[in-house]
Amino acid sequence: MKTEVDLSESYKLLHPRPVVLVCAKGKDGKVNVMSCSWITPVSDDPPLIAISLWKEGYTHKLIDETGEFTVNIPSSKLLEQVWLAGIKSGSKTDKIRLLKFNLTPSKMVEAPGIEECLGALECKVKNRMEVEEQILYIAEVKRALADKTYFKKDVWTDEAELLLHCAGKTFSIPKLIKHKSQIF
């Protein structure tokens, strides 16, 4: 039987969800990375995504400067780096250096990708909407990359051990299910 959940915790009902590392490069050339799971595709043709970032965050500032960013998909093997990318502020810490990430140049945007991640989306902002303390960006995916060892037939394999965020310090990984449904 279902019972009430405190409204301030209600977003956790929509977790676990994939964690990504958002990478942006300011006009001064400074690169920052942050972790996030409030992201969703919104259209497949053209490919558009929506991502919600905190209004006071440093990444939001860099994205507003250039209108560009990359979305990088980490394996759960990067859990410690993902955690630090989420709790440290890029305005005070050089997170790329701290997390020992190697950057790779993108083709369609100035913001680089993160070599250690399994996938990357190069994105350009098309629209933005202020939503309370957050900015919701609608961005077009201009280029997509994946490590095909782990992304087969357009599906991440279990071996990718993708990182899903549940709440706080709790994470999970996805396991493919086999089903014998006759209706498929």
28 makes contact with its own copies (CB under 8 A) = no
Identify which of 129, 151, 108, 104 has the alpha carbon closest to the alpha carbon of residue 50.
129
Q: Is there binding between residue 100 and its own copies (CB under 8 A)?
A: no
- Under the binding rule (CB under 8 A), the answer on residue 40 touching its own copies is yes
27, 28, 29, 45: which one contacts its own copies (CB under 8 A)? Answer: 45
Please report, as residue ranges, which positions from 128 to 167 form the binding site for its own copies (by CB under 8 A). Answer: 129, 131-134, 136, 138, 141-148, 151, 153-156, 158, 162, 164, 166-167
Tell me how far apart the terminal alpha carbons of the chain are, to the nearest angstrom.
30
Residue number, 97 or 169, with CB nearest to its own copies = 169
Q: What is the DSSP letter of 41?
A: E
Q: Give the CA distances from residue 13 to residues 166, 167, 170, in Å, rounded to whole numbers and listed in that order.
A: 9, 10, 14
Q: What is the x/- site pattern for its own copies, positions 71-90, by CB under 8 A?
A: x-x--x--xx--xx------
Residue with the two structure tokens 């394999």: 157
